[in-house]
Each structure stands twice: as C-alpha cells, then as structure tokens.
C-alpha cells in the first residue's frame, strides 16, 4: 500500500506528543522528518514533499489549537489535512451513462482495470460493457473476454480486426444497451508517436466522457513525464493506481496526478476483478494514519455478505459491533472474511485496529486457516442452538459431548472457544476506540 510505512512510523512519533501541553519546534521537526522519509521512500516528488513539510511546520507552529484539543490531536489533524491535500480529491465519477477510455503503458494493468471497473459499476446497479481495442498484444482479447465473463459484464472485441478504430466504432454500436462503456486501448513498452497517434484516433472515434490513465504503483518518477505526454495527446481526467498490493511505493502516481492536474479515481490491489476500490482521500489517509475507514469496511462487509448469500436481516454486522457476538456470528464472520480478502487488510480498515492494536494481539488471534475453519465448522455443527448463541454455557461435560459428536479433539474445541473470546474482545475494543478518534478528527 502506498506510504505503508508512514502510518506506523508516524504513530510512534505522534505518540511522543502524548501528555505534552505544548508542541515544540523540535517535536514538529521530528514529525516532519518522519513524513518526509516515508514520502520519499514511496517515490513522492521532492518538491511536493517540501511543500507539504512547510505547510505542516507553519500550521503546527503558527495556528492556535482550539480549546480542549491536545497537541497530539492537533498535529494529527494538520498532518491528516495536508496529506489529504497532497493526494487530492477523488475523480468525479457520476453513476450515470458514460464512456470511459483507459490509457497507459503495456503491463500497467489496463485490461485488468477495465474488468475491475466494469465489475465495480455493476455493483452500483449500472450495466457496464468492456470494449477491447488492443490489437497489438496477442493475449489481450482472450484475457479481456475471460475477465469480462468473470465480472459478469458485456464484452466486445474482434480478434480478426486489425484496426482499433474500427473495433471501437463497432464496439460502441454493439454495446448500445450498456450504461457504462469502458474502452481499453493498446499500450507499448514506452510512449511513442505511433501509440499516441493511435490513441488520438480512438479518442476521436469514441469521444469518451472521461480518460483515465492507468499507472503501476511501482512506477517511479517517470510516471510524471508519461502522464504529461498522455495529457497532451488526449487529456487525463483521472488516474488509476494498480498493483498496490505489491509495493509500498505509489508516489510516482501522485506526481502524475499533480502533473496532469487530475485526481485519483481507483486503486487496484490484486489480480481478480474484485480487487478494486474507489479512491477516497479521507478514508485513504485515515487508514494510513491508523485511524481506520469504517465506510470502506462496511462496503466490503456488504459485498462479502452478498457473496456469502446471507440476508442482512439474518445477520447484521452492526449487532456484532454492539457486542452481541455469538458463535453463529463468528461462523458468518469466518465465511465473510474468506470473501473479503486478506485479514490484515481488512483489519487496517477498522478504526483503531490499524498498526498498534494489531501488534498487541496474539499472532494467532486472527489466524483462521482453512483447515481450522473446516474443523470449527464441523465442531459448530455438533453444538446446540443454546451453545451457539451463548458459548459461555460450554463447560467440561459439554466439551466432551461436542468432541464426541464432531470427532475433533478437545484441544480444537477449546481453540474455537478461545478464538471466539478473542474476537469478541477485539470487537469490544473496536467499539470503544475508532469512532471517537475519527469523529474528533473530522469535526475539528
Ligand atoms: P495491460 O497490458 O496494461 O493491459 O496490463 P494487464 O491488465 O494485462 O496487467 C499486467 C499484469 O499485471 C497482469 O499479470 C495482471 O494480472 C497484473 N495486474 C494488474 N493489476 C494488478 C493489481 O492491482 N495487482 C496485482 N498484483 N497484479 C495486477
């Protein structure tokens, strides 16, 4: 994740401010240094880093914290606001009929992003279609078609046609029923005149409402000049940063955003069609700073719930957050988490769960491996309704009965109960911490 290290290093430095009634110039220097180090490591442009540092310094020292605000909260808020300013707004993407063209170099993740975006729009109730105009890369047609199938969206491509402009024209006609048409284009190893000329011709034909530039997060400062060239050719309205799962960088993309005066639209973090999220600056920075992002967590939970086929009336994550965490919840939770993606990513989105708190938990607290999950499932099948609702009633004799019924060792049953206990404790902490921190920060 971009600036992944920032959250933890900054939290440490900010924690030094705890209990202080005044912030010294030295404190601010330390914090700014920490931020600079993380940003530069993440390939953020030096000039941008300098500007951000100056703003933080000036504001932290010159502005008066409102009454009742601790120096730590005050500085955290300034850092948060300035970082939000640095990453910018999210690209405006109204949920309406539109055509979006994707541009970018070979391998940046365009084809994957086209399918991901199509899937994303479909979750918003729109009917998307992918138009594949990449006639250069031999595998592009098959890859795109297959991903469109996985995303369950319309697809148009023509492996026998050489001219991308013809494909674009025919694709637009063939996908008239779609609401959102996503036009994928060819890339090259580097930007050359031929590519620029081709993409300009496709643009003339398609007349997209938006052009998005797809950038690999690992791309360093060269993203800036590349973005400038695409900007000159077709104009860039937004940037999609891909492969955030594989790198702690991503700063090059910020330079591209700055260069094109555009914004970030989506973040890609994996190879499947669901590994995409809409860029939300405040949530993104909150997450970096370990403040969590409830909104995204809720979205993920909802999505995972859909995949699990559960009716929300039957199982409401809100109940869980209110402390009535039963073994049934845990079972649902395990299924849901399976659908949600890596647990540490999910945990990072929970307010108060990022960084520090995760470290305090025993290593195996969240280690719900497939094998354990299967065992847990079998064990829960041998429990009574009463036990599932209120696991505290399970004493030695009930444990023995459950072992006998499930054919699993006593140790496994105890593990399950322990896991349940830890998860409910964790949820209690979650309840206690996150919202307050976050709200305080937002309101001031
Ligand atoms: P294109 O040439 O720009 O169309 O790029 P592709 O969509 O074919 O992507 C190039 C490679 O990057 C493929 O192997 C993708 O599976 C992979 N890829 C794309 N997006 C992501 C991502 O967000 N995370 C990871 N880990 N891999 C990705």
What is the model's pLDDT at position 443? 42
What is the model's pLDDT at position 438? 42
Q: What span, in angstroms and rounded, lies between the C-alpha atoms of 122 and 119? A: 5
Indicate whether 436 and 391 sit together in one domain.
yes
Indicate whether 298 and 428 sit together in one domain.
yes
What is the model's pLDDT at position 122? 94
Q: Which of residues 62, 87, 112 is at a domain's end?
A: 87
Q: Burial level of 305, CB count in 10 A (0-12/13-18/19+)?
A: buried
Give the residue whose CA is nearest to atom 20 of ligand 1: 109
53-62, 84-93, 147-156, 329-338: least confident range: 329-338
Would you say the C-alpha torsion 352, 5, 39, 273 has a positive or negative sign? negative
Q: Which residues pair with 190 in a beta bridge?
A: none
Indicate whether 235 and 107 sit together in one domain.
yes
Residue 147 within any structural domain of the chain: yes
Residue 37 within any structural domain of the chain: yes
What is the model's pLDDT at position 37? 86
Tell how far the Cα of 112 is from the centroid of ligand 1, in angstroms.
6
Assess whether the C-beta atom of 108 lies below 6 angstroms from ligand 1.
yes
Residue 211 within any structural domain of the chain: yes
Domain containing residue 238: 98-280
pLDDT at 439 over 50: no
Q: What span, in angstroms and rounded, lies between the C-alpha atoms of 177 and 339? A: 31
What is the model's pLDDT at position 348? 60
Residue 288: which pLDDT band, with cuts at 50, 70 and 90? Answer: low
Residue 92 within any structural domain of the chain: no
ipTM score for this prediction: 0.99
What is the model's pLDDT at position 345? 60
228-232, 253-257, 282-286, 308-312: least confident range: 308-312
- pLDDT > 90: what percent of the chain? 37
Give the residue whose CA is nearest to atom 21 of ligand 1: 243
Q: What span, in angstroms and rounded, lies between the C-alpha atoms of 13 and 71? A: 13
Q: What span, in angstroms and rounded, lies between the C-alpha atoms of 141 and 413? A: 50
Which residue ranges make up the annotated binding site?
A: 104-111, 184-188, 242-245
Indicate whether 272 and 295 sit together in one domain.
no
Tell how far the Cα of 107 is from the centroid of ligand 1, in angstroms.
6
How many CB atoms are closer than 10 A to CB 247? 18
Best residue for ligand 1 mutational test, from 271, 272, 274 (most atoms within 8 Å of Cβ)? 271
Which residue ranges make up the annotated binding site for GTP?
A: 104-111, 184-188, 242-245
Assess whether the C-beta atom of 149 lies below 6 angstroms from ligand 1.
no
pLDDT in tens, 123-161: 999 999 999 999 988 899 999 999 999 999 999 999 999
Give the number of the atom of ligand 1 that is nearest the alpha carbon of residue 112: 7
Nearest in space to 417 (alpha carbons), one of 379, 381, 382: 379
What is the model's pLDDT at position 267? 92
Tell how far the Cα of 242 is from the centroid of ligand 1, in angstroms.
7
Give mean pLDDT, residues 397-411.
89
- Of all residues in the chain, what percent are helix, strand and coil, respectively (each to 5)? 60, 10, 30
Residue 361 within any structural domain of the chain: yes
Residue 407 within any structural domain of the chain: yes
Indicate whether 342 and 429 sit together in one domain.
yes
Give the contacts of 271 (CB within 8 A, at least 6 positions apart): 112
How far separated are the first and last CA of the chain, in Å rounded? 28
Q: Among the ranges 191-200, 202-211, 224-233, 327-336, which has the highest mean pLDDT value?
A: 202-211
Give mean pLDDT, residues 95-119.
95
Q: Which of residues 246, 280, 314 is at a domain's end?
A: 280
Indicate whether 109 and 144 sit together in one domain.
yes
Give the contacts of 232 (CB within 8 A, at least 6 positions apart): none
What is the total count of domains within the chain? Answer: 3
Mean pLDDT of the chain: 81
Residue 434: which pLDDT band, with cuts at 50, 70 and 90? Answer: very low
Assess whether the C-beta atom of 419 lies below 6 angstroms from ligand 1.
no
Give mean pLDDT, residues 371-381.
84
Tell how far the Cα of 334 is from the centroid of ligand 1, in angstroms.
29
Indicate whether 204 and 102 sit together in one domain.
yes
277 or 322: whose pLDDT is higher? 277
pLDDT in tens, 175-190: 999 999 999 999 876 6
Q: Where are the alpha helices (DSSP H) in 63-126?
A: 71-87, 110-123
Tell how far the Cα of 243 is from the centroid of ligand 1, in angstroms.
7
Q: What span, in angstroms and rounded, lies between the C-alpha atoms of 430 and 47? A: 38
Q: Burial level of 334, CB count in 10 A (0-12/13-18/19+)?
A: middle
Residue 75 within any structural domain of the chain: yes
What is the model's pLDDT at position 200? 94
pLDDT in tens, 419-433: 888 877 777 766 555
Indicate whether 236 and 126 sit together in one domain.
yes
Indicate whether 139 and 272 sit together in one domain.
yes
Q: Which two tokens stand for residue 250?
A: 């991503």
Assess whether the C-beta atom of 274 lies below 6 angstroms from ligand 1.
no
What is the model's pLDDT at position 72? 77
Residue 87: which pLDDT band, with cuts at 50, 70 and 90? Answer: confident
What is the model's pLDDT at position 207? 96
Task: Output the domain CATH number for residue 134.
Answer: 3.40.50.300
What is the model's pLDDT at position 440? 46
pLDDT at 108 over 90: yes
Residue 442: which pLDDT band, with cuts at 50, 70 and 90? Answer: very low
What is the model's pLDDT at position 313? 46
Q: Which of residues 255, 280, 305 is at a domain's end?
A: 280
**Which strands sit side by side in the sheet containing 128-132, from one edge to the other?**
154-156, 128-132, 180-184, 98-103, 210-216, 238-242, 263-268, 276-278
Indicate whether 57 and 16 sit together in one domain.
yes
Assess whether the C-beta atom of 268 lies below 6 angstroms from ligand 1.
yes
What is the model's pLDDT at position 1? 42
Tell how far the Cα of 273 is from the centroid of ligand 1, in angstroms.
11
What is the model's pLDDT at position 343? 57
Assess whether the C-beta atom of 144 lies below 6 angstroms from ligand 1.
no
Assess whether the C-beta atom of 271 lies below 6 angstroms from ligand 1.
yes
Task: Output the domain CATH number for residue 361.
Answer: 1.10.260.30
Task: Output the domain CATH number for residue 36.
Answer: 1.20.120.140
Indicate whether 344 and 371 sit together in one domain.
yes
Give mean pLDDT, residues 352-377.
60
3-class SS of residue 184: strand
Assess whether the C-beta atom of 112 lies below 6 angstroms from ligand 1.
yes
Task: Give me the torsion for CA of 259, 265, 269, 272, rounded to 10°.
Answer: -130
Tell how far the Cα of 46 is from the centroid of ligand 1, in angstroms.
28
300-304 long-range Cβ contacts below 8 angstroms, 24+ apart: 300/340, 300/341, 300/346, 300/349, 301/336, 301/340, 303/123, 303/274, 303/339, 303/340, 304/336, 304/337, 304/339, 304/340
Question: For residue 92, what is the DSSP state?
Answer: P
> How far lies 396's CA from each of 390, 402, 414, in Å?
15, 10, 10
Q: What span, in angstroms and rounded, lies between the C-alpha atoms of 167 and 52? A: 45
Q: Which residues pair with 71 in a beta bridge?
A: none
Q: Scanning the structure block, which residue is given the tokens 């937004």?
A: 238
> How far lies 235's CA from each of 108, 208, 232, in Å?
18, 11, 6
Indicate whether 270 and 347 sit together in one domain.
no
Residue 227 within any structural domain of the chain: yes
- pLDDT > 70: what percent of the chain? 75
Assess whether the C-beta atom of 88 lies below 6 angstroms from ligand 1.
no
Assess whether the C-beta atom of 106 lies below 6 angstroms from ligand 1.
yes
pLDDT at 35 over 90: no
């Amino acid at each position: 994740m971009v600036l992944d290290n920032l959250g933890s290093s900054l939290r440490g430095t900010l924690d030094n401010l705890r209990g202080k009634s005044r912030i010294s110039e030295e404190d601010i220097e330390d914090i700014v240094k920490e931020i600079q180090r993380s940003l530069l490591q993440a390939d953020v442009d030096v000039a941008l880093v300098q500007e951000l540092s100056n703003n933080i310094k000036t504001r932290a020292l010159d502005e008066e914290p409102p009454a009742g605000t601790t120096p730590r909260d005050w500085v955290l808020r300034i850092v948060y606001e300035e970082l939000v300013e640095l990453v910018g707004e999210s690209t405006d993407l109204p949920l309406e009929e539109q055509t979006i063209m994707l541009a970018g170099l070979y391998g940046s993740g365009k084809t994957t992003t086209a399918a991901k975006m199509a899937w994303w729009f479909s979750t918003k109730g729109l009917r998307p279609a992918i138009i594949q105009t990449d006639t250069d890369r031999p595998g592009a047609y098959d890859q795109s078609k297959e991903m469109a199938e996985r995303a369950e969206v319309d697809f148009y491509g023509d492996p026998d046609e050489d001219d991308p402009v013809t494909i674009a024209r025919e694709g637009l006609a063939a996908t008239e029923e779609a609401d959102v048409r996503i036009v994928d284009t060819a890339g090259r190893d580097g930007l050359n005149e031929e590519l620029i000329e081709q993409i300009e011709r496709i643009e003339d034909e398609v007349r997209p409402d938006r052009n998005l530039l797809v950038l690999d997060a690992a791309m360093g400062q060269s993203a800036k000049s590349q973005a400038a060239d695409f900007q000159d050719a077709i104009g860039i309205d937004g940037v999609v940063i891909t492969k955030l799962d594989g790198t702690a960088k991503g700063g090059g993309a910020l330079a591209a955003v700055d260069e094109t005066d555009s914004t970030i639209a989506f973040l890609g973090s994996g190879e499947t069609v669901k590994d995409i999220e809409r860029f939300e600056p405040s949530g993104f920075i909150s997450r970096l700073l370990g403040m969590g992002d409830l909104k995204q967590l809720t979205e993920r939970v909802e999505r995972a719930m859909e995949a699990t086929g559960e009716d929300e009336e039957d199982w409401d994550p809100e109940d869980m957050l209110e402390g009535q965490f039963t073994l049934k919840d845990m079972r649902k939770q395990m299924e849901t988490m399976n659908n949600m993606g890596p647990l540490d990513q999910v945990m990072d989105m929970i307010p108060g769960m990022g960084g520090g708190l995760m470290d305090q938990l025993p290593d195996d607290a969240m280690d719900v491996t497939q094998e354990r999950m299967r065992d847990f499932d079998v064990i829960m099948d041998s429990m009574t309704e009463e036990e599932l609702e209120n696991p505290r009633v399970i004493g030695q004799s009930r444990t023995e009965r459950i072992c006998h019924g499930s054919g699993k060792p006593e140790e496994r049953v105890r593990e399950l109960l322990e896991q349940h206990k830890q998860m409910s404790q964790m949820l209690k902490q979650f309840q206690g911490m996150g919202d307050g921190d976050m709200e305080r920060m937002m309101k001031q």
